[in-house]
A and B are shown apart, each in its own frame.
Chain A
Amino acid sequence: AQSVSQHNHHVILSEAASLELGCNYSYGGTVNLFWYVQYPGQHLQLLLKYFSGDPLVKGIKGFEAEFIKSKFSFNLRKPSVQWSDTAEYFCAVMTNSGYALNFGKGTSLLVTP
């Protein structure tokens, strides 16, 4: 079955630590990839997206993600996290055949001072 997998459900990091959140998908064909973030008490919002071109995409607040087609992966990274990065992070995939954003279950990130 087609799916989006986020490997880490809960991550706890200290400030200044590096972050990598895994995301794998099982859809064939052309896909468009997204990372969304939900800060406490706020709406779900786009962090970054990949449509085509350079597989390394940069988003807001120093986040970046790398699309590795051969691994069906789109991992999210940040070299140095801040307390304000505490949030829920969702990976999502959209195929060219539909309108749906197919989400992973999310990763809860807690950054401690």
Chain B
Amino acid sequence: SQTIHQWPATLVQPVGSPLSLECTVEGTSNPNLYWYRQAAGRGLQLLFYSVGIGQISSEVPQNLSASRPQDRQFILSSKKLLLSDSGFYLCAWSEGLSRQADEQYFGPGTRLTVT
């Protein structure tokens, strides 16, 4: 069966420090991968998605970047964190090779607090 892992589970970082959040998926090949963020009092917002290795699409302009160095690995990064980067970050995957209306499977999330 497929599983999705995220780490760390929680993170407290000072403003201006770098960030690296990792997501890995097991039990599937060529998945579509997604990074979402939930800021306080707001719904989940898609930040990035990837349909293949090295292919990253950004949905909103921001201080963050994403990379996909391996088929089942998705990394969310920042060179310098801002206070507004605080939030709950969720990684998700869906079956690749088919774009429409696929169920997305979510990881446990990372709670990031920027101080």
Contacts and interface: CB of A to CB of B under 8 A. Distances in A.
Interface string A70-102: 000000000000000000001010101001111
17 contacts: A4-B43, A32-B100, A32-B101, A43-B106, A43-B108, A46-B103, A49-B101, A94-B100, A99-B34, A99-B51, A101-B104, A102-B43, A103-B36, A103-B45, A105-B41, A105-B43, A106-B43
Interface of B: 32, 34, 36, 41-46, 49, 51, 57, 59, 90, 92, 99-101, 103-109
Contact of A49 (B42, B49, B90, B103): B103
Given A43-B109, A105-B43, 17 more contacts: A32-B101, A34-B103, A43-B107, A44-B90, A90-B44, A92-B44, A96-B100, A99-B57, A99-B99, A100-B59, A101-B34, A101-B44, A103-B36, A103-B45, A104-B43, A105-B41, A106-B43
Contact of A105 (B42, B49, B57): B42
Nearest to A99: B49
Nearest to A50: B101
B101 A99 contact: no
A99 B59 CA distance: 10
Contacts of A39: none
A90 B32 CA distance: 21
Contacts of A44: 90, 106
A34 B104 CA distance: 10
A92 B43 CA distance: 10
Nearest to A45: B106
Nearest to A105: B43
A34 B101 CA distance: 9
A50 B53 CA distance: 30
Contacts of B109: 43
